[in-house]
Structure 1
Amino acid sequence: MNPAARALTTTLDDADVRVLLLENIHADGRDFLRGKGYDVRTEDGALGEDELIEAVQGVHLLGIRSTTYITPKVLENAPDLMAIGAFCIGTNQIDLPATTERGIAVFNAPYSNTRSVVELAIAEIISLARRLHEKSTAMHAGVWNKSAAGSHEVRGRTLGIVGYGNIGSQLSVIAEALGFKVAFYDIDDKLALGNAQRCSTLEELLEMSDVVSLHVDGRPGNAGLFGDEQMRLMKPRSLFLNLSRGIAVDTSALKAHLESGHIAGAALDVFPVEPKRQGDPFESELRGVPNVILTPHVGGSTEEAQQDIGRFVASKLRSYASFGSTSLSVNFPEMNLPADDSRTRLALVHRNAPGVLATINGLLGEREVNIEAQSLATRGEIGYVVTDVDVPVTPSVMTELANLPETIRLRQLS
């Protein structure tokens, strides 16, 4: 058996499934899993690597948001872990190759908070254009400064969107409805929505935009994407937003361009280093810089979005744990499987190699195990085969399946 393999040779009843949810995941997700009979434990904040290793002992399902990092060391010390739910859009905080190698399914919520992030972007663009943040701060300090200087409408301005995925494309549609001209740049070939103009280079977009908004993912290639060179290409007195990934922006360069007046205002919701827990101190060189809006990674933090995410990801974790379904998994072959309490289900994750299915079926046939239904899907280097049989499989047969050289993980579901 692959050294990374983990064979669960006994069936887990729902009451035996242990769940750990971190980072204030919405109560609807917790309550959904508890309602299915799972043993659910919650923690308010993120956990560091050593803390997480201790916390995941005996845990089958783990729920995180964006601040908890799932490293190979964590996975090596989590032998019972079957699946991870990222209750957010991104999964860059999870070492996906390592989870796949160990047969751990990963699920996320790629669409649930899109609207919330877009609404925050629109609100911040208007606030920066009207200098509302500065005016509010002055009013709280007792200063009445009624002036139109530096305050502008957004109608007729050009919004440049860097990254035209789910969020960037929806921002494009709503911004156009407000009277923006929209341009976008993406490394992939994306269909322009409405009257949006596709730019062939990032430089082309920067030179034409009055507002630049970043909506990129956290892949390593996006680290340092936006620095002094890119900011110099922006139009004088333009606005800048980053609601995507903190690693994408050089904040020292941004501060310099804000203080010089080349960039008239900025809004940031993400930072290279973020506090792990509520109330922890926040440090940034952008604190106190005029016409800069700083928010604590709340782009998707609306009640509506978090409720939707909680329900969505929790349902994916439950479908995998109880039925073996991998629909919308980030790293596994997709298989949408219905519940069937009348049969015993074997879920086997294996290395994608020729002849695995024939070997499995031959072994079951020799042991007089009747196959009533079977599905196989592959994705890259792994395969996933789910077999429904008419009787529970004996521990000895499970051991034989687990000992196949291609087996990564094996479960028997009732």
Structure 2
Amino acid sequence: MPKVLISDKLSPAAVQIFKDRGIETDVKVGLAPDELKAIVGQYDGLAIRSNTKVTADILAAATNLKVVGRAGIGVDNVDVPAATARGIVVMNTPFGNSVTTAEHAIAMMFALARDIPQANASTHAGKWEKSKFMGVELTGKTLGIIGCGNIGAIVADRALGLKMKVVGYDPFLSAERARDLSIEKVDLDTLFARADFITLHTPLTEATRNVIDAKAIAKMKKGVRIINCARGGLVVEEDLKVALESGQVGGAALDVFKVEPAKENGLFGMDKVVCTPHLGASTSEAQENVALQVAEQMADYLLTGAVTNALNMPSVSAEDAPKLRPYMKLAGQLGSFAGQLTEHALKAVKIEFEGHVATLNTKPLTAVILEGLLKPMVEAVNMVNAPVLARERDIDISESRNERDGDYHTLVRVTVVTEARTRSVAGTLFGGDKPRVVSIKDIPIEAELGEHMLFVTNQDKPGFIGALGTLLGSHGINIATFHLGRSESGGDAILLTQVDQPISDKVLEEVRKLPQVVQAKALSF
């Protein structure tokens, strides 16, 4: 039974989801780093919010950990590269609080347009400064959205309902998606020049850090109003302060800051600045949603292998997981076969999917192939970290898909390029779920892979099969299956046989000394 630790406060309903699905669950909130490190090795899953810091040191102690689930979108508190290196899946819940965050951005825009916080404070103070708080309408104004993903799209929808004009900048926004959202796709400079209000909904990356600085502000309309409910660090706060003082920026509404918790900030106390303490996702509905989602995602992964909203491996839906299961076995066997035969440094791997398999989600299959391929050469490799390890070793990975049927209804081919040679192995499924190797080195062969195998490349000459059978028999090695293939009569031939026990180095050396043998390898699956 999988075991999960919940180390931050989550909804009791999330805890119940784990328990209802048969997962042993411990709730231990507020652990110090040393306390977490001491017990994390007992668990298969770790469910967190923003308080728990999942550092490389913690992950090094998490010897059984398979998945970290973050209830919410930000994973700043998780060392994702370290988790990936250890083969630990990191999941978040990017959509559970999308509506809440989008609504907060709209609320901040209203507050900014009508000076609501300042008017509220003035009125509570017994003043009646009606003429002081002259706001602006949103109707007919142009809203510039930087980042048109899930949250940005919701903001656009709400803004269009307010009769605003919406322009959007996002390098990943297609023209078709922009039309679907009923917004105008523009470049960043055009957005700066046209927008009356600008709202940010993008992650903090090296490409987006300081996207609004003094140079950007200089390109904006005088009196522009800026809303940031995304990430601190997108806006250079010092440059924003100068622009507010000069009047170039007419107002700013900020829910996030470069340093949080923000107890001190140069923008605090300024007129025309609205600030909230990172409340974007803070509604009871959002907190419940992300907690329930992370529990479902983690349970799915631990029980069925389904992967949803992972940051470091391909997604596999609960619907796809059973369809992919026999292909995952086939992919693992093909990768392992190629890896065990590889004796020189890998330069490239070409993976081809033909027929029915090409219609499926092949990204997890590629990861499993790479895992099998690298396992004989690299310690602690699995499908999560295999693609990263391959890139670190400058192995060129290519993948192609062809939905047309060839000789088989479905086929996976792995071609490995080393410093010495190029070799391929291909396989299919018999009966829909039984993996079979159907080609090795472009030589047709049909074989089922078992626990103990002997692979031989030999010259196609009479007497070899008898000599090999005699040799194995003399050592008490029983043959379970025997499969042969050749390129042409008298040319290269291959033999793949399953035996009932491991083949020792001594026996393997004797096989290699047979006159017709070119290569002999003991394989295990």
Q: Same fold (TM over 0.5)?
A: yes
For residues 248-305 of structure 1, give each alpha carbon's deviation from its aligned partner in whole angstroms, at most 9, with x where no partner exists: 1111111222222221211111112213xxxxx7222222112222112121121112
Give the counterpart letter for 2:209 in structure 1.
A
CA positional deviation for 1:169: 1.4
Shift of 1:208: 0.6
The one-letter code of the counterpart of 2:13 is D
TM-score by length of 2: 0.60
Kindly provide the CA deviation profile for residues 20-63 of structure 1, in whole angstroms up to 9, marking residues without a partner as x.
332x333322332244442222426xx88667545635333222
User: What is the alpha-carbon distance in structure 2 between the residues aligned to residue 26 and residue 196 of structure 1?
Assistant: 37
**Does 2:209 match 1:236?**
no
Counterpart for residue 381 of structure 2: 408
Shift of 1:90: 3.4
Counterpart position of 1:19: 5
Taking a change above 3 Å as real, the CA distance of residues 137 and 149 of structure 1, as seen in their structure-2 partners, is closer
The residue aligned with 2:59 is: 75
Which residue pairs with 2:334 in the alignment?
355
Q: Which aligned pairs between 1:6-405 and structure 2 lie closer than 5 A? A: 13-14=1-2, 17-22=3-8, 24-35=9-20, 36-43=22-29, 53-54=37-38, 56-66=40-50, 68-147=52-131, 150-190=134-174, 191-192=177-178, 193-200=180-187, 202-275=188-261, 282-336=263-317, 355-358=334-337, 378=363, 382-383=367-368, 405=378
1:222 counterpart SS class: coil
Q: 1:148: Cα distance to partner? A: 6.7
Cα distance, 1:209 vs structure 2: 0.5
Q: Secondary structure at the match of 2:301?
A: helix
Task: Kindly report structure 1 stretches of 4+ aligned residues shifted beyond 4 Å.
Answer: 47-52, 66-69, 357-361, 375-381, 402-407
Q: Structure 1: any 5+ residue segments left out of the alignment?
A: 1-12, 276-280, 362-374, 387-401
Q: Is the 8 A contact 1:251 1:286 kept in 2?
A: yes
**Cα distance between partner residues in 2 of 1:55 and 1:290:** 50
Letter in 2 for 1:28: A
CA distance in 2, matches of 1:207, 1:322: 52
- Flag the structure with higher strand content: 2
Q: TM-score normalized by structure 1? A: 0.75
Equivalent pairs counted in the alignment come to 356
Partner secondary structure for residue 281 of structure 2: coil
Residue in 2 that maps onto 1:391: none
For residue 25 of structure 1, what is the amino acid of its counterpart? L
| C-alpha separation in 2, matches of 1:113 and 1:382 | 30
Indicate if the aligned counterparts of 2:142 and 2:164 stay in contact, CA closer than 8 A: yes
Cα distance in 1 for partners of 2:224, 2:104 equals 18
The 8 Å contact of residues 146 and 199 in structure 2, kept in 1 or not, is answered as: yes
CA contact (8 A) 1:19 1:40 kept: yes
Could you say if the C-alpha distance between residues 71 and 157 of structure 1 is closer, same or farther in structure 2, counting changes exceeding 3 Å?
Answer: same
Partner Cα separation in structure 2 for residue 71 and residue 94 of structure 1: 6
Q: Which amino acid aligns with 2:294?
A: V
Shift in alpha-carbon separation, 1:203–1:155, aligned structure 2, 3 A: same
Q: 1:377 to 1:56 in 2, by over 3 A?
A: farther
If you compute each CA radius of gyration, which structure gives the higher value, 1 or 2?
Answer: 2
Contact conserved, 1:209 with 1:238, CA < 8 A, in 2? yes
CA pair 143-93 structure 1, distance change in 2 beyond 3 A: same
Contact 2:71-2:93 at 8 Å conserved across structures = yes
**SS of 1:174 mapped into structure 2:** helix
1:123 shift after superposition: 1.1
Change (3 A) 1:77 1:194: closer
What is the SS of the residue equivalent to 1:356?
helix
- The whole-number CA distance in structure 2 between the counterparts of 1:383 and 1:177 is 47
Of all paired residues, the percent bearing the same amino acid is 30
Distance 1:295 1:188, change over 3 A: same
Q: CA contact under 8 A between 1:377 and 1:385: conserved in structure 2? A: no
Inter-CA distance 186–56: structure 2 relative to 1 (3 Å threshold): same
How far residue 205 of structure 1 moved from its aligned partner, in angstroms, is 0.5
Q: Residues 166, 80 of structure 1: CA spacing in aligned structure 2 closer, same or farther, 3 A cutoff?
A: same
2: CA distance, partners of 1:273 / 1:93: 14
Answer whether contact 1:92 1:218 (CA < 8 A) is retained: no
Separation in 2 of the partners of 1:337 and 1:112? Answer: 18
RMSD: 3.7
Q: 1:55 to 1:226 in 2, by over 3 A?
A: farther
Q: Which runs of 5+ in 2 are unaligned?
A: 341-359, 384-525
Q: Which amino acid aligns with 1:335?
A: V
Q: Distance in 2 between matches of 1:298 and 1:144?
A: 29
